[in-house]
Amino acid sequence: MTWTRFSQQPRAQELLSHSLRNERLAHAYLLAGPKGSGKKQMALHLAKSLFCSEREADACGACVTCRRIDGGNHPDVLFITPDGASIKIDQIRSLQKEMAMRAVESSRKVYIIEHVDKMTTQAANSLLKFLEEPPAGVLALLLTEHSHAILPTILSRCQIVQFSPLSAESIAEKLRAEGVLAGMAQVASHITTNVEEAMTLSQSESFAQLRNLVIQLVQECKQRNSSALLTIHDMLQKSDKSKEELPLFLDLLILWLRDILYLQVGRHAHLINSDQQDVLQGQALVWTKAELLRGIDLVMETKNRIERNANAQLALERLVLQFQEG
């Protein structure tokens, strides 16, 4: 559980670990980046690295101190999350009182605020004053997915640490390490840049069912007396969640059509549905490159149409008929 676990965010890792090793930590950092990019995990690791009893300028993750911080039970590490839809001024006032008190177990205190962009105006102004005159030994770690929504005056008081979206390869590797089948891990990692969402998807029975439905639909669109329209109808009638899952279904359809195209042009290393290569090979024999390219465009148009509140069933039926026209 060392700093090396954050190799997917090399700039953030190097900045924070180097500052800690050289005792040059700023009093406040804004960790900014998309959901699932590892901001909270790195904030926790930095906090643990300050207090860890087993390692210097790093965290073992296993000692009593590290485990207490992970569990939110360390007296010198305070967490704040939105109370309902926002972070309120009473939460910031309580934070200020807590941080003004002497540290219990060391000379340092740390506070971590998640979704700092969700502060009310009063809370933001109160935090600003606290950032301008921080108590000695207090470290602020502010986390956000929307740095543009934060007061410029708060941004100017923090050192900004930018996080990039995780690569699909990194996400798939994390999923496989957690026991997810390689095929599902690969596909889920190309649907979302959020590790937690990818994990939920890859372990969901409905996710596997949607991919099977994609395979079935692409096969049926090239068969005589096709039942593709019936397949679409059955999907939409199957459950109340079916319409909510349409964007995911269409994303999976795009990935599948692209994989067929990759096979046709010999780019086997780029396959996403690599666990279904035999099926892809068979479908690659009946689809032309022109049909696949046009098909991908049609799926994207259909997705946009549905997002603009078009009738889902009509939009999908139109897509199937366009596929069958060739």
The pLDDT score that the predictor gives to residue 36 is 86
The pLDDT score that the predictor gives to residue 225 is 66
Most confident option among 1-10, 184-193, 307-316: 184-193
Same domain, 132 and 240: no
Same domain, 113 and 229: no
**Is 96 within the bounds of a domain?**
yes
Same domain, 113 and 26: yes
> Does 300 score more than 70 pLDDT?
yes
| Euclidean distance between CA atoms 92 and 90, whole angstroms | 5
Same domain, 50 and 107: yes
Nearest Cα to Cα of residue 9 among 122, 164, 160: 164
One-letter amino acid identity for 115?
A: H
User: How much of the chain, in percent, has pLDDT values that exceed 90?
Assistant: 75
Query: CB-based contacts of 146: which residues, under 8 Å, 6+ apart?
Result: 117
| Euclidean distance between CA atoms 90 and 17, whole angstroms | 33
Count CB-CB contacts under 10 A for residue 141.
26
**Is 142 within the bounds of a domain?**
yes
Contact (CB, 8 A) for 228 and 221: yes
**Is 181 within the bounds of a domain?**
no
CATH of the domain at 254: 1.20.272.10
Same domain, 7 and 155: yes
Same domain, 27 and 113: yes
Contact (CB, 8 A) for 121 and 101: no
Same domain, 157 and 38: yes
Same domain, 136 and 217: no
**Is 298 within the bounds of a domain?**
yes
Query: CB-based contacts of 223: which residues, under 8 Å, 6+ apart?
Result: none
Place of tokens 């309902």: 84
| Euclidean distance between CA atoms 92 and 142, whole angstroms | 13
> Does 313 score more than 90 pLDDT?
no
Nearest Cα to Cα of residue 257 among 224, 226, 211: 211
The pLDDT score that the predictor gives to residue 310 is 83
pLDDT band at 326 (very low <50, low <70, confident <90, very high): low
Average pLDDT over residues 176-199: 93
What would the pLDDT profile of 42-64 be if each residue is shown by its tens digit? 999 999 999 998 999 999 999 99
The pLDDT score that the predictor gives to residue 321 is 87
Same domain, 155 and 212: no
Same domain, 136 and 40: yes
Same domain, 22 and 150: yes
- Computed over every residue of the chain, the mean pLDDT equals 92
Q: Per the structure, how many domains does the chain have?
A: 2
- The boundaries of the domain holding residue 275 are 204-325
Same domain, 87 and 232: no
What would the pLDDT profile of 219-245 be if each residue is shown by its tens digit? 988 886 668 788 888 877 776 666 788
- Residue 252's alpha-carbon distances to 81, 118, 308, in angstroms, are 34, 33, 20
The pLDDT score that the predictor gives to residue 30 is 98
